[in-house]
Chains A and B, each alone.
Chain A
């Protein structure tokens, strides 16, 4: 069995002492930022990225990945205990989880979430290991035209899943692509939009963009209405679910895992979609739908499994195609590049130890999370008492130091302020920041492949339609665009009709 050999290689890498250690650090930090409202995994990964430059590539990626899925885990804790989802995908968990906590059943809710996440993480890791190699070998056949269409497809699909209007999400993507053109042109070396500043020749650093959009802008949002956080935390007693609970959570966990593993592959926040879909499915097929919203344990187990499975499988497009499915994945691309590895279909053959080590580490990370979360629940709850007046200066300061240490370039630090303000303004106007970051990271890829495809075809743009892979991807992108726009049209019609009556 080739899969077993590969996994053996993976585990032999992931079980090295320093890798287990940094996996632990990653999931620990991830849980912490998942628990703390006001700072998410994107800003954390962006801030810590510079620190990992001195690590071995595989160690760095293991730790960064740990932050990502650890945060999905931590987000559910606060959702259940104080009705405050630390991560967007945990919003569904709060519905029934917090209700259970109010009925004094916080323990079983937390246990259902933890067990569900662990099962989902384990299954999804195997799915990732099985699905990645065939996909990578398909991706190796891609030419520049196909790649261009693939990136375009990925960007369009990400808006279909984003909240807010499709028009604004589309504009955010285009703006991101546009800002990605700052710096020296790859083919001619001409410096573009640099205002004669040498520091800008290398382009705007994506870490500055991410820290500004997800760190500074979020802090400004939180400072709009300063409230003292009153954490009324229900006491957690009797963690172990009853026999009845155990019987009720098996099927939702399995269904959630399947849904999450499938939806996580989609670009643009598949994990949020996965948890919402899982909740809807459980409610529909339940014999007791009236219990949902009033503390149904299925409503915790299903979505929690779904979002954790999705968090694992969202690595599939990253590792096989070099396409990020989530802003954190976009930052991971940056981490690959910094270590001199081009993310994409070649990673699996060129860096087998890294590829399989990263996958194996996710399973180890899930074990660590299980050990870390259930016994230490009291510690995480206590962390909520850290006042925001201490937390936000720390985020800003660490962001500034971290970004500066990337290249010792003051412009990277100025860019945080610029993107913080731009992001704050646009978020206030109802735009989502994630599409901008995805566009920014993928923009250079889009331009490079567009120009390369046109050089090969001698300037004939029909190449994008005559190559079957490219044509199929463009058709899918168009379909996704129509789907994304349609509900808006319908809603607007509804508004218009309502007014005419």
Chain B
């Protein structure tokens, strides 16, 4: 019998095993309790073990008779830029204030597309900054300072 190895199956299974395993290890550090009074660790331990078991089953199946899925290309530039933009937003919103944070986040995100030209990116970012300031700060009265302490405000 010919075997169908499926890389996506093995990868998905590995992710489940990894995350489930991490939770199992973490859960063992908390009190497990008794069936009558389950401690904080009991439920995560059970579910974590289930995730590991399911993950192993997916890996096993992937090695023998996996699902044929084409994994396709990964837009590395978009992944990197979008993660960076989101982390930047979370980290600086309190420090730089709404307007600069929004502008930089928008500009970074626009650059995730491989086709965008710099001038378009700047225009889109500027437009989005104005729009979101009007919508969220002026319209919805979101209590985030427009300019933050890092800029001396």
Interface residues of A, Cβ cutoff 8 Å to B: 51, 54, 164-165, 167-168, 170-171, 174-175, 177-178, 181, 185, 187-188, 190, 192-193, 216, 219-220, 223-226, 388-390, 392-394, 396-398, 400-401, 404-405, 408, 410-414, 416-417, 420-422, 424-426, 428-431, 443, 447, 450-451, 454-455, 458-461, 492, 495-496, 499-500
Given contacts A224-B74, A495-B65, whether A168 and B26 have CB atoms under 8 Å apart is no
A46 to chain B, nearest CB (A): 14
B35 engages A397 (CB within 8 Å): no
> Please, what's the 1-or-0 string for B133-153, where 1 marks a CB less than 8 Å from any CB in chain A?
000100010101000000000
Residue of B nearest to A164 (CB): B67
Give A79 to B57 CA distance when docked, in angstroms. Answer: 38
In the complex, whether B118 has a CB less than 8 A from a CB of chain A is no
B69 to chain A, nearest CB (A): 5
Give A431 to B69 CA distance when docked, in angstroms. Answer: 11
Given contacts A167-B58, A178-B47, whether A389 and B115 have CB atoms under 8 Å apart is yes
Contacts of B140 in A (CB 8 A): 51, 54
Give A317 to B43 CA distance when docked, in angstroms. Answer: 26
Give A479 to B90 CA distance when docked, in angstroms. Answer: 45
Beta-carbon contacts under 8 Å, B52-102 to A:
54-55, 57-58, 61, 65, 67, 69, 71-75, 78-79, 82-83, 85-87, 89-91, 93-94, 102
Interface residues of B, Cβ cutoff 8 Å to A: 1-2, 4, 8-9, 11-12, 15-16, 19-20, 23, 26-27, 30-31, 34-41, 43-44, 47-48, 50-51, 54-55, 57-58, 61, 65, 67, 69, 71-75, 78-79, 82-83, 85-87, 89-91, 93-94, 102, 105-106, 109-110, 112-116, 120, 124-125, 127-128, 131-132, 136, 140, 142, 144
Chain A interface main SS type:
helix
Contacts of A388 in B (CB 8 A): 113
Contacts of A451 in B (CB 8 A): 38, 43
Residue of A nearest to B142 (CB): A405
B47 engages A224 (CB within 8 Å): no
Residue of B nearest to A448 (CB): B43
A396 engages B44 (CB within 8 Å): no
Looking at the complex, which one of B36, B85, B91 makes contact with A454 (CB distance below 8 Å)? B36
B139 to chain A, nearest CB (A): 9
B58 engages A171 (CB within 8 Å): yes
Contacts of A426 in B (CB 8 A): 12, 15
B112 to chain A, nearest CB (A): 6
Looking at the complex, which one of A392, A413, A428 makes contact with B89 (CB distance below 8 Å)? A413
A224 engages B73 (CB within 8 Å): yes
22 contacts between A and B (CB under 8 A): A178-B48, A181-B44, A190-B40, A192-B44, A224-B72, A226-B113, A226-B115, A400-B89, A401-B102, A410-B94, A411-B90, A413-B93, A425-B12, A428-B8, A428-B72, A428-B74, A429-B12, A429-B71, A450-B38, A454-B38, A495-B4, A499-B1
Give A271 to B24 CA distance when docked, in angstroms. Answer: 36
Give A398 to B9 CA distance when docked, in angstroms. Answer: 33
A410 engages B124 (CB within 8 Å): no
B58 engages A397 (CB within 8 Å): no
Contacts of B93 in A (CB 8 A): 404, 410, 413
A135 to chain B, nearest CB (A): 28
Give A445 to B43 CA distance when docked, in angstroms. Answer: 12
A170 engages B90 (CB within 8 Å): no
B112 engages A392 (CB within 8 Å): yes
Looking at the complex, which one of A168, A178, A398, A422 makes contact with B23 (CB distance below 8 Å)? A178
Given contacts A219-B82, A224-B75, A390-B124, whether A188 and B39 have CB atoms under 8 Å apart is yes
Residue of B nearest to A451 (CB): B38
B26 engages A193 (CB within 8 Å): yes
Given A389-B120, A413-B90, 16 more A-B residue pairs with CB atoms under 8 Å apart are A167-B54, A170-B54, A220-B75, A223-B75, A224-B73, A392-B113, A396-B82, A401-B89, A401-B102, A404-B90, A405-B144, A417-B86, A420-B83, A424-B79, A454-B36, A499-B1
B83 to chain A, nearest CB (A): 5
Contacts of B102 in A (CB 8 A): 397, 401
B86 engages A413 (CB within 8 Å): yes
